[in-house]
């Protein structure tokens, strides 16, 4: 099954079942995390909306945390001249960074001028998960979606740590919907790509991850509790803008699309503005 979130006319978040190219609203008072906690036994409206008829919300809008992995593809570690990690290299993105399919990626050029794209497979946790084994890890997944780990490279590299450069508002597009784990039994065999203005910039397969989805979940759960709706970004392959010759950074008006086999396409446009900083 596929589930999406969208904003209704009154501004509330609605959950819909996605099938036959339409979004069918569920008779359900709550958002995606409420659905994850409740289960799938919810009736749907027989009237569906075309994806172009409703404004999408992020696939999950209020996770307790967004956990991301760095250097989890060998080719990306090599292009960045980084050392291949012995354990998953994790960092956080704040929930304020979430934005939806067809939403804008926005930044202030007084804060950053080196904004980069990173196509990633996102894992949505389905159960409270503590100290789970690799063998049981995927049983704790609700589903998968597309993500773009947008990064302000000047902040990321200048700070020497990654949180600020990864957590600006709108720097975590997530969607367009969640595909439940039963439809993607092997998350480590999916084609993944990123296109900027139609040009392929990244193209790989999740089989090239250093740490598999099961290994990642097991590792994380040994260190802190994972809760339903938590988001895990599993790393990006080579081809990011910062390590191209010359570097390629996103510009105002650019369209960025993340494609993942079995899920779909996450599309966003860029909006760069110069704003004064009040003190």
pLDDT digits (tens, 9 = 90+) for 28-56: 889 999 999 998 777 888 899 999 999 99
pLDDT attached to residue 279 = 46
Report in angstroms the alpha-carbon separations of 113 from 109, 152, 275.
5, 8, 13
Share the mean pLDDT of the chain.
95
Of the candidates 176, 183, 195, the one whose C-alpha atom is nearest the C-alpha of residue 51 is 176
Residue 277 predicted with pLDDT over 80: no
Residue 233 predicted with pLDDT over 60: yes
Side-chain-side CA neighbours of 68 within 13 Å: the count stands at 26
Q: How many CB atoms lie within 10 A of CB 116?
A: 25
Of the candidates 225, 234, 189, 179, the one whose C-alpha atom is nearest the C-alpha of residue 4 is 179
Residue 76 predicted with pLDDT over 60: yes
Instruction: Name the residue with higher pLDDT: 44 or 72.
Output: 72
Range with the poorest average pLDDT among 2-6, 43-47, 54-58, 87-91: 43-47
pTM: 0.96
Mean local confidence (pLDDT), 252-274: 98
Q: How far apart are CA 33 and CA 1, in angstroms?
A: 16
Of the candidates 45, 48, 42, the one whose C-alpha atom is nearest the C-alpha of residue 30 is 42
CB 255 within 8 A of CB 196: yes
pLDDT attached to residue 278 = 60
Q: How far apart are CA 1 and CA 184, in angstroms?
A: 10
Residue 218 predicted with pLDDT over 80: yes
Q: How far apart are CA 204 and CA 93, in angstroms?
A: 24
Mean local confidence (pLDDT), 180-206: 98
**% of the chain with per-residue pLDDT over 70:** 99
CATH 3.90.850.10 domain locations along the chain: 66-273
Confidence of residue 215 (pLDDT cuts 50, 70, 90): very high
Residue 5 predicted with pLDDT over 90: yes
Residue 172 predicted with pLDDT over 70: yes
Burial class (CB within 10 angstroms; exposed 0-12, middle 13-18, buried 19+) of 37: middle
Mean local confidence (pLDDT), 166-183: 98
Confidence of residue 263 (pLDDT cuts 50, 70, 90): very high
Of the candidates 45, 210, 66, 47, the one whose C-alpha atom is nearest the C-alpha of residue 124 is 66
Q: How far apart are CA 243 and CA 237, in angstroms?
A: 12
Report in angstroms the alpha-carbon separations of 248 from 38, 116, 242, 279.
44, 8, 6, 32
Query: Is CATH 3.90.850.10 what the domain over 66-273 is classified as, yes or no?
Result: yes
pLDDT tens readout for residues 114-129? 999 999 999 999 999 9
């Amino acid at each position: 099954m596929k589930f999406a979130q969208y904003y209704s006319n009154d501004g509330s978040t609605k959950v819909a079942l996605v099938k036959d190219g339409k979004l069918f609203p569920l008779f359900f008072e709550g958002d995606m995390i409420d659905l994850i906690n409740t289960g799938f036994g919810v009736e749907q409206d027989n009237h569906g909306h075309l994806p172009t008829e409703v404004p999408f919300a992020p696939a999950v809008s209020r996770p307790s945390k967004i956990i991301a992995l760095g250097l989890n593809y060998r080719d990306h570690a090599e292009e960045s001249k980084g050392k291949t990690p012995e354990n998953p290299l994790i960092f956080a993105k704040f929930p304020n960074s979430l934005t939806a399919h067809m939403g804008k990626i926005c930044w202030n050029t007084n804060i950053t001028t080196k904004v980069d794209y990173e196509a990633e497979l996102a894992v949505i946790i389905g159960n409270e998960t503590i100290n789970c084994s690799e063998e049981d890890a995927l049983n704790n997944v609700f589903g998968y979606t597309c993500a773009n780990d947008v990064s302000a490279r000047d902040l990321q590299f200048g700070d020497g740590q990654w949180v600020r450069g990864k957590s600006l508002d709108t720097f975590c597009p997530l969607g367009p919907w969640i595909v439940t784990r039963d439809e993607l039994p092997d998350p480590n065999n999916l084609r993944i790509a990123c296109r900027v203005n139609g040009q392929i910039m990244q193209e790989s397969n999740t089989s090239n991850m250093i740490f598999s989805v099961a290994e990642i979940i097991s590792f994380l759960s040994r260190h802190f509790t994972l809760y339903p709706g938590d988001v895990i970004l599993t790393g990006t392959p080579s081809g990011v803008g910062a390590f191209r010759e010359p570097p390629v950074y996103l510009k105002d008006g650019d369209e960025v699309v993340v494609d993942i086999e079995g899920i779909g396409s996450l599309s966003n446009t860029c909006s760069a503005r110069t704003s004064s900083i009040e003190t």
